[in-house]
Structure 1
Amino acid sequence: MRMDRWALVAGPEQRKMVQETVALYRAYTRALIGVLWVHQREILAAASPNAMVESLIHATARNPDPQYRFFDHRFPKFPSYLRRAAITAALGQVSSFATRYARWQAGVRKRRDALPPRRTGENNLNPPLYRGQCIRFDASYHVAEIKVWSGTDWIWTKLHIAAKRHRHEASQNKALSPTLLADGKSVKLAVPFEVPVQYPPRKSVQRACGVDLGIRKTATASIVSTDGTVVARRFFHRGADIDRRDKGLVAVRSKARFTMGKSGKLSAGFCKAMYRKARNRNRDMAQRLSREIVAFAQEHGAQAIVLEHLKQYRPRAGRKGSTLRQRFHGWLHSLLAERIRERAEELGLLVEFVNQAGTSTFAYDGSGVVKRDARNWSWVRFTTGKRYHADLNACYNIAARFFAKMLGLTGRNAQACARGKSSATQPRIPVTLSTLWQHAQAMVAEREAPTTALA
């Protein structure tokens, strides 16, 4: 499932009607929650909870005298599809509270003195628009007709779609019912799409894009084939955006120093807007970089994207309060990996995660442990004296680990990084790019062996 947000062009009067429609839907749901609290047990035990709730609040020819006439008087001509959507949303909130309260009563709590969950009628729900009943699109998706509350009646209003993405153009994608969003400044449609995903078989992958997520370079990618050939490589870095983000965080530190001095506490919500800007910059960088990395992989025919498994990794470099520690806090390893995975899966690319241990420690040519440059940690020196970029070396090894696992080369002699504490008869060899070279040479020798014997 993927969600697109389409911006709508709405005048002042149309924006006001849309906002009133959203407010009316939330008020209707809030009133429904009150009814469900009263009849919670009998409704949840009914064969059709939605039908039972509707019989309590809505008058029909077969049900002329509902128990709660308030709804028909307070919300006249409320569309049936919106009413049923509101009932489903209210049932979800009541059922959620009942589950959480039962868990609290059973003693499943984060702390022994944890307070019980509180009931609330407030919600920030948005009305779903069912096609043909609450929303209609033209053939080219340039105009959307939406049923809104004008203050006296439910009417259809035309809104032009200002911006949209391209998921609706793919014939295999199935568009579901959109949701109406109104935040006071703009009007949007949240359109969900059911996207079929078809991954290539792991054994059929001939090229993989190894991605190393770093601090000095945001990401480094290389295209590697099964025989260890490096087809392409590229650095991805948004230095200007990172500088803006870090500059804002330095300003936060300065403000905190002048606010509380050497000791003391900061108030809740201190520099809230500046932290929000930093998060938004990180989110924007992750969106842009993921798009560039996936496009790079597609451009060179990679069927898989390989990343390091860094979900539980917590860097410990830098002293407390240092700028290096701050840069690690702003590291985009989790967010960027998630965005890459989402984009790649939608395009049918395989996404794999490999163990991160030793990818930067060992030279890709199999010469052994590398040594970091004392003046510039972006560079390393091999035992042979060769000087190479650390991130490029790491992304070669990341891609090699995927192929080594796929080809079954991850036995005892291709697992670890150095001689371990166990009584092994020979040193353990790390999986590097040279592992693929050796495998390719062995395969060539195996194919040529019968020919040599016949000769």
Structure 2
Amino acid sequence: MALTRKKGYSIESKTARFTLKRDGIDLDETKEAFNELVSFYFAVVATHPEGTVKVNEYYKVYEGLTLGEKPQYPLPFDAPSVFRRAAIKKAIGAYKSWKTQYDKWSVRPPRHRSHRPPVQPRSFNFNPVFYAGMWKEDTGDSIMLKVRRDRAWIWMKFQYQSYDFGAEWVKASPTVTLKGGQAYLDFTIEKYIPATGGLKTVIGQSDLRICSVDLDLDGHIATCTVLECNDNGVVHEISRMTVPGHTAHVRRRKRTLGRIARKMNQTGSVDKGFASTIFAKISRRERNEGFRISNEIIEFAHRHGCQVIVFEHLGNLKPKRGKYSRRSNQKRAYWLKGKIVDHVRRIAYQRYVILTARVNPKNTSRLCAVNGVEVWRGNHYLPTLLELCQPYEYGGKCFATVTGQRGSSALNAARNIGLRFLSRRFVMPALAVKKAGNVRKAKSVKTGCDRVASKVGG
């Protein structure tokens, strides 16, 4: 049963997929009937689009045109009312999607228009949605579904492989998904999450604690630091962490892409489905690595009681020119960085009510987080005076400054990311560093111009 709105809480939802055991039962007829109804109602909606603006009267408008003693558009076959209403919702959604694309095309300048406008879909391949009344007696490993067999609607019992997703999550209407010869039962599950008031409310709290993350392409892909600030704008570093294990993944990905590049040179032509098995293997590894790294970051932030996880806003990364394997490796590294941010935003809020923000990346690697001077970057901690006088260059795992500061360039960037976020509350947040048992307040850090809209989890 779907959750209802409750004051002081927001409702989060996700999809839980279970393998459906059919025992030779064919569900294609049910899917075909659903898509036939969607096609029928799509034509009705396209003919009478005025009903799409009446949010609470969808069923009244379109069932009034197709039901009754003398309907204007008779139904092609009989179907349960809840099954029919699920098809109406899908048809309205498909029509609104087409209408949005068509309106965007129509307002473009003539030189930017495609040769043809977006056309209405001629067929559909939706998976059937089972509203309440189409399913019952869900025990956790078996369920009764109302399906169509031999042009008749009958109740049938199915077994499915489930897992424990937590007592706080509540099941809503399921969808039967047919994919690759397998059948899956996809439940929409919902959960109450205490409302946080958004970033503007959280950042105003006293003793705010955040986890700032610097994402790299290889090596230690994620460097995290926990920063805590008081009401005076003094920032203390509580803990730090690097996520290990990514080097082996990058090495394996490069080796696999090199194999694909050699095969491409041998064949001379690349057809559809070329090396599909190897590409599928790479995709599974990337997906698993994204979830692994995201989980490490989330658990680290939760252990230290962080209210916000902060990333850089890097949305326009493109691979450099070069060989196929090099470009493909960089492209997948950029994809992985984006997936990590998306996973952290969603899972951290659903699991621990931790928000996620992104900040302007300007000068986060160029300036020192302690005193704000420009840094030298390289692969060692002791640069010569001549090297310190050289202009700033990208790359290098270490940094050093003319004032004697040195350390990890990734950790320095993570600190700057956190300070950039805290500059939304304090004019000049300052990082307090410990030295020889004493705590001294560092010079204020140049935070630059940071008025980029943050993406907030929750």
Give TM class, smaller chain. Answer: 0.7 to 0.9
Q: SS of the residue aligned with 1:30?
A: helix
8 Å CA contact 2:370, 2:443 repeated in 1: no
Q: Is there any run of 5+ residues in structure 2 with no aligned partner, and where?
A: 1-11, 381-394, 445-458
Equivalent residue, structure 1, for 2:125 = 124
Equivalent residue, structure 1, for 2:264 = 256
Matches within 5 A, 1:236-385: 236-237=243-244, 238-260=246-268, 266-267=270-271, 270-314=274-318, 320-321=322-323, 325-331=327-333, 332-346=336-350, 347-366=352-371, 368-374=373-379, 377-383=396-402
1:196 to 180, 188, 193: 193
Amino acid in structure 2 at the alignment position of 1:232: S
8 Å CA contact 2:257, 2:329 repeated in 1: no
| CA deviation after TM superposition for structure 1 residue 164, in Å | 3.8
Equivalent residue, structure 2, for 1:11 = 22
> Does 1:20 find its partner at 2:29?
yes
Q: 1:50 to 1:234 in 2, by over 3 A?
A: same
Output the CA distance in 2 between the equivalents of 1:104 and 1:372.
Answer: 48
Is the strand fraction higher in 1 or 2?
2
Q: SS of the residue aligned with 2:353?
A: coil
> Does 1:134 find its partner at 2:134?
yes
Equivalent residue, structure 2, for 1:445 = none
> Does 1:396 find its partner at 2:415?
yes
8 Å CA contact 1:367, 1:383 repeated in 2: no
Amino acid in structure 1 at the alignment position of 2:239: A
Output the CA distance in 2 between the equivalents of 1:182 and 1:45.
Answer: 32
Q: 1:107 to 1:379 in 2, by over 3 A?
A: closer
| CA deviation after TM superposition for structure 1 residue 213, in Å | 0.3
Moved more, 340-349 or 361-370: 361-370
8 Å CA contact 1:2, 1:195 repeated in 2: no
Equivalent residue, structure 1, for 2:214 = 212
Q: 1:165 to 1:291 in 2, by over 3 A?
A: farther
| CA deviation after TM superposition for structure 1 residue 212, in Å | 0.7
Q: 1:153 to 1:241 in 2, by over 3 A?
A: farther
Q: 1:120 to 1:206 in 2, by over 3 A?
A: closer
Q: 1:100 to 1:283 in 2, by over 3 A?
A: same
TM superposition score normalised by structure 2: 0.74
2:176 to 160, 180, 184: 180
| CA deviation after TM superposition for structure 1 residue 254, in Å | 1.6
8 Å CA contact 1:144, 1:159 repeated in 2: yes
Q: SS of the residue aligned with 1:222?
A: strand
Q: 1:203 to 1:244 in 2, by over 3 A?
A: same
8 Å CA contact 2:432, 2:440 repeated in 1: no
Is the helix fraction higher in 1 or 2?
1
Q: Deviations over 1:318-375 (max 9, x none)?
A: x522866544322222221111111222232132222222222233432733322357
Output the CA distance in 1 between the equivalents of 2:301 and 2:441.
Answer: 24
| CA deviation after TM superposition for structure 1 residue 104, in Å | 4.3
Output the CA distance in 1 between the equivalents of 2:271 and 2:204.
Answer: 56
| CA deviation after TM superposition for structure 1 residue 194, in Å | 5.6
Equivalent residue, structure 1, for 2:236 = 229
Output the CA distance in 1 between the equivalents of 2:329 and 2:220.
Answer: 12
Q: 1:312 to 1:438 in 2, by over 3 A?
A: farther
Larger radius of gyration: 1
Q: SS of the residue aligned with 2:88?
A: helix
The percentage of aligned residue pairs carrying the same residue is: 24
Instruction: Report the aligned-residue RMSD.
Output: 3.5
Q: SS of the residue aligned with 1:116?
A: coil
| CA deviation after TM superposition for structure 1 residue 68, in Å | 4.8
Amino acid in structure 2 at the alignment position of 1:406: R
Amino acid in structure 2 at the alignment position of 1:116: P
8 Å CA contact 1:362, 1:368 repeated in 2: yes
Q: SS of the residue aligned with 1:21?
A: helix
Equivalent pairs counted in the alignment come to 399
| CA deviation after TM superposition for structure 1 residue 145, in Å | 2.4
| CA deviation after TM superposition for structure 1 residue 198, in Å | 2.4
Equivalent residue, structure 2, for 1:2 = 13
Equivalent residue, structure 1, for 2:155 = 156
Moved more, 148-157 or 206-215: 148-157
Output the CA distance in 2 between the equivalents of 1:231 and 1:45.
Answer: 53
Q: Is there any run of 5+ residues in structure 1 with no aligned partner, and where?
A: 411-430, 443-455
Q: Deviations over 1:40-99 (max 9, x none)?
A: 4686699955434334444xxxx2343555623xxx4x1110112212322333344355
8 Å CA contact 1:366, 1:433 repeated in 2: no
Output the CA distance in 2 between the equivalents of 1:282 and 1:267.
Answer: 24
